[in-house]
Chains A and B, each alone.
Chain A
Amino acid sequence: AQTVTQSQPEMSVQEAETVTLSCTYDTSESDYYLFWYKQPPSRQMILVIRQEAYKQQNATENRFSVNFQKAAKSFSLKISDSQLGDAAMYFCACNTDKLIFGTGTRLQVFP
């Protein structure tokens, strides 16, 4: 069975600074996708970024990028130039057949 672990329950960052959220996963499958979803106070989950396991190049979406280390089964999210609107819960997820979520990291952004 696949598992997703987020070991940082809470993180904080100063506005305009960079922060990295950690995620590790475990699966025996060779074909899978990894995701980061954002859950703002409104509760509605929004896709931030996704990465295909077969692609070596790290995915990037504007200020959001990932560091995908396949051998280490690590998938961290880097947020550059943090903004107040980035404050939210961030969930890492892995899809080999069903989408399995980690427990989330609450990110606070200070002015």
Chain B
Amino acid sequence: NAGVTQTPKFRVLKTGQSMTLLCAQDMNHEYMYWYRQDPGMGLRLIHYSVGEGTTAKGEVPDGYNVSRLKKQNFLLGLESAAPSQTSVYFCASSYFGGLGNEQFFGPGTRLTVL
């Protein structure tokens, strides 16, 4: 099993450009999450999904959109990138949303917005 994979691993954008980050999991998990990690801060939740076709806002959703058309994939979109979105983005998944459920993380995508 590959677990949680993320594409791409690195990306450099110019201000105003758009891009989509792809997250895929092969564990048949219901829940999927997108986080961002900035220096000196912990991971912060951007958006999440509780199942195919659903999405919900997390702690820092502004400037991002998401889609979950297939159970195994969770896409994160930046419509008009800003330097403040320079960060490392992590995708995660879990069987369900129970408080004690382990989240399995991908390797991250380092995004730089110039």
Contacts and interface: CB of A to CB of B under 8 A. Distances in A.
Contacts of B102: 47, 50
Interface stretch (B16-24, B37-45, B65-73, B78-86): B37-45
Interface residues of A, number: 24
Contacts, number: 50
A14 to B, nearest CB: 27
Chain B interface size, as a band, is 20 to 34
A91 B43 contact: yes
Q: Per DSSP, are chain B's interface residues mostly helix, strand or loop, or mixed?
A: loop
Interface string A74-111: 00000000000000000101011111111110000000
B106 A95 contact: no
A32 interface: yes
B99 A32 contact: yes
A98 B92 CA distance: 13
A44 B106 contact: yes
Interface of A: 4, 31-33, 42-47, 50, 52, 91, 93, 95-104
